A and B are shown apart, each in its own frame.
Chain A
Amino acid sequence: MVGMTLALIVMAAVISCFVFLSRNLARLQIQQKFESQGRRALLIFSQDVRMATAISTPTTESVSLSVVTPTGTTNVVYNYDFTSGTLTRTPGFSGVGTSPAMLINLTSFSFTYYDVFGHPYPLLTNYLIGIKQVSMSFNARSSATWNLTQPPFNYQVNSARVILRNKPLLP
């Protein structure tokens, strides 16, 4: 009886430890995935904005940047798809959504545009000429199915205001 009791206690402890470890390792994996995709998106977005010579069709969910290439310029389109919760980056505009998703599991996303003084533009197209800074903010959330015993993991990022360095202030 003593042996059985001890064995049960040890087994219970071992099983609960393994459950704890597996849950937390899965959580770490999700966090690391979000961190990686977030940093990558911030880096590529910053590079594109800094390189862009012009900006067109700015909305809170999409923007098109004219980026210089060795043979001229190409449009790089960023588009947030609300239904799939993804942000796509399409270089050389050939239809939105054809590129692999840059960010996934998004629950909210927005671009914000500012003038040279840092004032945000509430009405975008009317102030297209004056846009000199762009930032993006997003919130990604792990799906509820990865681990039903823990709340979903939230990952929120507000980027720096990146300057359109190559875009002239006046047309």
Chain B
Amino acid sequence: MTGQRLTKHSGFTLVDVMMGATILVVGLVGLIEAVLIGSEMQATARRQTTASQIVSNEIELLRLQDWATISALPAGTTSLAAWNGATLYHITDLVSFGGSWFRCIASNTGQSTANLSYWAIYSGPIASTGIDSAATFGVSRTVATGPNGLVEMTFTVTWVTKPSGSPVSRTYTRIATAYFGQYGLNLTYRRT
């Protein structure tokens, strides 16, 4: 700099300013995108908490059941669904009816959810997921025969979200597998 003399016309040209502004915009767009992704991840973490509570609730419930009830649950996958008068319901099945949730406490077919000898009003985590309007939760239970006479129960909580401004929906699942034995032995694995 010492050998140079500033002239009357020295300074930034329009091209310099435009280039600088472009670099700045690229950087800021990246930062904004990072914040938006962080926000979405935070929402996902919150839903993971809800899903975790839903799974815990289902497994805890099964721990209260006797072996006759556990072993009577039909093999295969049962999804949470609206109450249907023609369906055979087993103890611990969960149904929705009239905007509320009900838990089967005595095996039945065609018994109204208003009959408290067969149904208990359910107000657990899944019944309150309306607080998160951006995601709807569903849960299914898969019963299979495990090793050494154990019954293997796999619970899958699924929720679908569509981030604002994104045309693509994303589906998340949280899965937990629990093993139940005739004499109280049980074990739980979780994965997401």
Contact = CB atoms under 8 A, between A and B. Distances in A.
B49 A38 contact: yes
A159 interface: yes
Contact of A135 (B36, B42, B120, B124): B124
Interface stretch (A10-18, A51-59, A86-94, A143-151): A10-18
Contacts of B105: 117-118
B64 interface: yes
Contact of B64 (A35, A38, A163): A163
A156 B132 CA distance: 9
B45 interface: yes
Contact of B39 (A2, A10, A24, A163): A24
A117 B38 CA distance: 41
Interface residues of A, number: 41
A112 B105 CA distance: 19
A130 B135 CA distance: 36
Interface in B1-24: 14, 17-18, 21, 24
A35 B131 CA distance: 15
A46 B35 contact: no
A44 interface: no
Interface stretch (B54-62, B70-78, B143-151, B163-171): B54-62
B185 interface: no
A13 B22 CA distance: 12
Contact of A17 (B28, B38, B123): B28
A109 B182 CA distance: 38
B134 interface: no
Given A25-B35, A42-B49, A156-B131, A116 B125 contact: no
Interface of B: 14, 17-18, 21, 24-25, 28, 31-32, 35-36, 38-39, 42, 45-46, 49-50, 53-54, 56-57, 60-61, 63-64, 103, 105, 116, 120-125, 127-128, 131
11 contacts: A25-B35, A28-B35, A31-B46, A38-B49, A156-B128, A157-B53, A158-B53, A158-B125, A158-B127, A161-B61, A162-B60
